[in-house]
Structure 1
Amino acid sequence: MHPWLLSLLGGILIGLAAVWLMAMLGRIAGISGIASSLLRGAGDWPWRAAFVAGLVMSPLCLWLVRGDNGLGAPQVAWPWMALAGLLVGFGTRLGSGCTSGHGVCGIARLSSRSIAATAVFMVLGMLTVAVVRHWLGGLPA
């Protein structure tokens, strides 16, 4: 399957999951909020656990079907990936939500706060790629 088709399919599944969660439970599919509430032991943990399990299982299902994740081997060493994950977590707390909560659900609800947050995510993401790839010459593998 072509990478752009795989990305399109992933986007469709994310959108459908967000619509389903809102339609069935009246909840916004903000992954950081779902995960943090699950870790804090929220009383409505079963649906949160099922949602997070679906996030974890999706790449595993893709691997079972394709024999790989569709992206190839990581081009960056694990410590850099761990640092990136920590920075994303910090940014999620600082921005009061993640790309799924703001970018997928917030924009769909025409939230001006989410539109602004998503614009900031996108601009800073592009700047980060430009700096790392073109000024620093990439990250060490």
Structure 2
Amino acid sequence: MIETAFTPWTSVAGGVLIGLASTLLMLFAGRVMGATGVLAGLFQPSSTPDFAWRAALLAGTVTGPAVVWAVSGDMPAVQVPVSTLALMIGGLIVGVGVTFGSGCTSGHGVCGMARLSPRSIAATLTFMAFTFVTVFIIRHVIGG
């Protein structure tokens, strides 16, 4: 059985930081902070300033654990209880979902819902429903 560690204060802090970052990006650059869109635009930027903000955002995302380590003295613990093949299959499924959904959870769930976008609300409801179903199947049907 997979045990989930509930970390309310860390989760709230992370949510506040994501909300703040997405708000600041919208305020100063007029851009939506959808992770897959930011990453895709990094490889096909429309201009040099477009590349710069995308690179800075992704650099901050990747270096976040180093900041936690510098402040706390401990690296964040990461445990992945599945095989590399399962991660690759999951990544492929997520990539297909992002393509068909015209965005990812951060773009639709954080930014799109904040703008009251009907498409983002529908997308968020859809991926949340499938998340609940997946967790139920993994925990109660398969017994993971």
Give the TM-score band, short-chain normalised: 0.7 to 0.9
- Matches of 1:98 and 1:11, distance apart in 2: 16
Distance 1:68 1:76 in 2: 21
RMSD: 1.7
Shift of the alpha carbon at 1:13? 0.5
Q: Which runs of 4+ in 1 moved over 6 A?
A: none
Residue of structure 2 equivalent to 1:80? 86
| 1:60–1:81 Cα change, 3 Å | farther
**Equivalent position of 1:50 in the other structure:** 56
Q: Residues 1-141 of structure 1: matches in 2 within 5 Å? A: 3-43=7-47, 44-64=50-70, 65-70=72-77, 72-138=78-144
**TM-score with structure 2 setting the length:** 0.86
Aligned residues: 136
Over residues 75-105 of structure 1, what are the superposed CA-to-partner deviations in whole Å (9 max), with x where a residue is unaligned?
Answer: 2223212221221121111100011111001
Structure 2 residues without counterparts, runs of 5 or longer? 1-5
> Which sections of structure 1, spanning at least 5 residues, go unmatched?
none
Is contact 2:36–2:104 with CA below 8 Å preserved after alignment?
yes
Tell me the distance in 1 between the aligned counterparts of 2:143 and 2:114.
37
Cα distance between partner residues in 2 of 1:31 and 1:131: 27
CA drift at 1:133: 1.9
TM-score by length of 1: 0.88
Partners in 1 of 2:92 and 2:67 — Cα distance? 26
